[in-house]
Amino acid sequence: RRALDQEACFRALAACQQAGVSSPLVTPCRTLHVATQLRNVKETRQHTEEEVGAFTKLIEAMGFTGPLKYNKWKIKIAALRMYTCCVERINYDEFFEKCTLPDTLNSWFLVAQLHVWMCLVRMRQEGREGKYMCRYIVHSMWEDVEQRSKIMGIDAIHRKEAMKAMTETFYAAIFGYDEGILSDDCVLAAALWRNLFNRQCEDPRQLELMVEYIRKQMQYIDALDGDDLLLTGEVKWRPLVEENAQSILKVVKPTYNDAGL
């Protein structure tokens, strides 16, 4: 099954445009190189529910975190590193150009949150440790966003308003992307149109490019070892546009010492 065929792309854009965007001149989408079998969250390995004791259940019901397989500080450090990978290993200028996004803090945030979401999807598969790590990935993101807004000279009042709007945008996007990754490409394209493109995309090729990017990226990071991710947080991203389209290969495992460094 193709990751996103032309018919699905046009249907998604047409459905989106019915919400209020005028019909553009549609040009044929480019041919994609995709794997013969699509792997997504529904098809990835599922971890069995962990057996936890009554005491652990009690303290977690009270809002505390029970004992984990790895040291909590190691997981926190790995979470910060994983968020850093979402910021420093992405060519934002390329995303702005290919997706026709303005070079603003908000556009940066929309691209960053997309990659943070992909990390959250992957780490939620790693049981209680993964969920604990997810909390600190998101925590790192909000701290970074606030620091960037301060550096840009945004005053406290407008910064508070912007943070509130970004928070609402983030959780709405998470819901939409989750629905899209568990559904077909049409649903994922619609989620991208609403969230990443802010309902302003008139080129189906841009939606096609981003759906292909998410599908291949999720397949790629799903091949990473869960324990390595919990201890290192190292994620290397596939390029937005492949120079030489090929099947996604399993990456080399990262190394780490006893301190998780």
- Beta-carbon contacts of 11 under 8 Å, excluding residues fewer than 6 positions away, are 186
Structural domain includes residue 22: no
**Tokens of residue 1, six digits:** 């099954």
Q: Closest Cα partner for 120 from 105, 132, 111? A: 132
DSSP class per residue in 2-37: -SS-HHHHHHHHHHHHTTT-------PPPPP---SS
Q: Encode pLDDT of 69-128 as tens digits.
A: 788 889 999 999 999 999 999 999 999 999 999 999 999 999 999 999 999 999 999 988
In the chain, how many domains are there?
Answer: 1
Q: Encode pLDDT of 27-43 as tens digits.
A: 444 444 444 444 444 44
Compute the CA torsion angle 212, 240, 42, 113 (nearest 10 deg). Answer: -120
Structural domain includes residue 26: no
CA distance 209 to 99: 9
* pLDDT reported for residue 35: 42
pLDDT tops 60 at residue 186: yes
- Whether 260 contacts 74, CB under 8 Å: yes
Structural domain includes residue 52: no
**First and final CA of the chain: distance in angstroms?**
40
Structural domain includes residue 111: yes
Its domain, for residue 123, covers 65-235
Structural domain includes residue 11: no
CA distance 60 to 55: 9
Q: Encode pLDDT of 193-203 as tens digits.
A: 999 999 999 89
- Beta-carbon contacts of 60 under 8 Å, excluding residues fewer than 6 positions away, are 52, 66
* pLDDT reported for residue 70: 82
Structural domain includes residue 225: yes
Structural domain includes residue 114: yes
- Beta-carbon contacts of 248 under 8 Å, excluding residues fewer than 6 positions away, are 35, 216, 219, 220, 223, 238
226 or 249: which leads in pLDDT: 226
- Chain-centroid distance, C-alpha 160: 24
- Beta-carbon contacts of 115 under 8 Å, excluding residues fewer than 6 positions away, are 86, 90, 237
Chain length of the chain: 261
Residue-averaged pLDDT of the chain: 79
Structural domain includes residue 144: yes
pLDDT tops 90 at residue 211: yes
* pLDDT reported for residue 127: 87
* pLDDT reported for residue 1: 46
